[in-house]
Amino acid sequence: MLYGLIQLTWFDATTAALPFITVALLQLLNALLTDQTTRRVKSAHELTTAANLLAEDGTAATTTPANGKATAANGAENGKLQKQKSEHSDDSITNIPSAPVCSSTPPSSARNSINLLHNNNGNNHIIIPHTPCLPDLLSDEYHEDEDTLSLENLFPCDQSEIYASKKISFIIDEVIQTEANYVNNLRKGIKNYGELHARSDAPESFKGAENRKRLLGNVEEILALHETQILPLMLRNQRDLKSLFDEFAAYFDKNEFYCYVIFMMNKKTSMQLRQEQRPWLQNVQNEISDKLGIDSFLVQPIQRLTRYPLLLQQFISEFYKSGISCKPVLASVCKLETRMRRLLEVVNQAEDVPAIDEIAELNLASQGYFRRATEFEAYHHRSRKKYAAKVFLFDRCLICTEVRKRRLAYRHHYEWSMLELQLNGSKSVTVLQRGRTAAAKGSAKEEYEFTASEACAMTQWLRCARKIIEIDRVESAMRGKFVLPMDLVLSVGAAIWLIWNYL
């Protein structure tokens, strides 16, 4: 009887096994196609980053507040001073705190790699090892100490003692309350000045959607981010600080705050437009009874971005003073504070991007995200000229400009796929360009030699450049390959099985 119930025909067995066979074949195909990239990724773990190569001569200690009470206290004092400055600042971000983070001593693996490279090359030049890992973000890595690396961070801790501190509770409430006020102020500002282009008496320079974008930039995108994402995140996690800090940091890792970089790039254009139409804007301000005006409205995004790390520095300082032993929360807040300072640094540098002259041949909008701008002493090998330069890193290219008083003269740009970086020392790097033709691909010619004033500046620049190069190489290696997501494969397999058995 039981045998009769479980009898199967060859057709039924083949039908049942077909989805599994299909999934296995597709996964095997994907594994074969990505095998080369996988081997390159595995080999990346055996090499250190370019930053570690430079760190042997590091001159600056890490500024991560988790190192001790003294660091936290100093950060809090500096934060109070910066806070006072930011509250009285105008439409400028010269007071944005940006502290470079450099590891004071490299790990043993880094020193071994340096010695190995020296022995292999037999000279003082180091070819930077390309490790095609795919990092989630291009900002500087968060430098963790023994506290943040401890196993205690993997387990939840009792956060009740954190809320028992009145000062810490006040800081948390201030973070959430000021976030709500920020959202309301942006919404009110867009209501007051978002329709200036549609007014009948508006000047010609204000009319049209394009001029509206020149005036307001992408402030609506910033409002949407904070109104629909950041503020709800804070409200639902106000009793779970580790989740609040971790989720907040994830937005920086995903580059969701790049809208502030775009906003800063538009700052100069907006200021010039407002200055030209100052009398008319004053009349509009009086008409709607706005005491602060459009200038105050458009400076709020940068002031808010500056305010975040100051509040976190106060939180860390009180954390140490109170003697709280909840290390997971401390590790999360230090990581978030580092992410915020890195973003502030990039936002500050983004103001110089529109100042590049004579760059009509290159469309900056198509070069991907802006990542970093660094000042170097540059020597161009082909022209044999030496000058003060500012080098801009984008996802798709490197742009070199010459600093001429208050302007930046465009000189050259290079695609990352055609570049190699050769480290000459802790402060100097040579940029080489590979040939485009098949015959010249094996050779690379020297284009520039960049020399930084400090090893720390070169460390950060080189770390960022290296990551961009490796992401470009991995994307190029994966381009055109047949790769299917697992959920799609399983869905197709299930659909085949259902159709075969019931239709």
* Per-domain boundaries in the chain: 9-34+482-502, 35-64+125-135+352-480, 157-351
Greatest mean pLDDT range, 51-55, 74-78, 292-296 = 292-296
Which residues have C-beta within 8 Å of that of residue 305, sequence separation ≥ 6? 96, 257, 260, 340, 343, 344, 347
Answer whether 234's CB lies under 8 Å from 175's CB. Answer: yes
- Across 392-402, b (16+ Cβ under 10 Å) vs e yields bbbeebbbbbb
Which SS3 state, helix, strand or coil, does residue 372 take? Answer: strand
Give the DSSP H/E element, type plus range, for residue 468. Answer: helix 455-478
Measured in whole angstroms, the distance separating CA 261 from the mean position of its chain's CA atoms is 10
Whether domain 35-64+125-135+352-480 has CATH 1.10.10.60: the reply is no
Measured in whole angstroms, the distance separating CA 414 from the mean position of its chain's CA atoms is 21
What does the alpha-carbon distance between residue 495 and residue 503 come to, in Å, rounded to a whole number?
Answer: 11
376 Rama sector, left if φ>0, alpha if ψ -120 to 50, beta otherwise: beta
Q: Is the confidence at residue 100, as pLDDT, over 80?
A: no
- Domain 157-351: assigned CATH number: 1.20.900.10
How would residue 153 be classed by pLDDT, with cut points 50, 70 and 90?
Answer: low
What is the pLDDT averaged over residues 356-371?
84
How would residue 33 be classed by pLDDT, with cut points 50, 70 and 90?
Answer: low
pLDDT tens track for 318-334: 888 888 878 888 889 99
Q: Is the confidence at residue 115, as pLDDT, over 70?
A: no
What is the pLDDT averaged over residues 489-501?
73
What does the alpha-carbon distance between residue 30 and residue 488 come to, in Å, rounded to a whole number?
Answer: 13
- Exposed, middle or buried by CB within 10 Å (0-12, 13-18, 19+), for 416? buried
Which parts of 254-376 fold into alpha helices (H)? 258-265, 267-276, 278-287, 293-321, 327-350
How would residue 478 be classed by pLDDT, with cut points 50, 70 and 90?
Answer: confident
pTM of the model: 0.70
Q: Is the confidence at residue 468, as pLDDT, over 60?
A: yes
What does the alpha-carbon distance between residue 200 and residue 435 come to, in Å, rounded to a whole number?
Answer: 57
Which residues have C-beta within 8 Å of that of residue 3, sequence separation ≥ 6? none
What does the alpha-carbon distance between residue 315 and residue 329 come to, in Å, rounded to a whole number?
Answer: 11
Scan for tokens 């196609």, then name that residue.
33
Greatest mean pLDDT range, 56-70, 78-92, 337-351, 482-496 = 337-351
Q: Is the confidence at residue 437, as pLDDT, over 80?
A: no
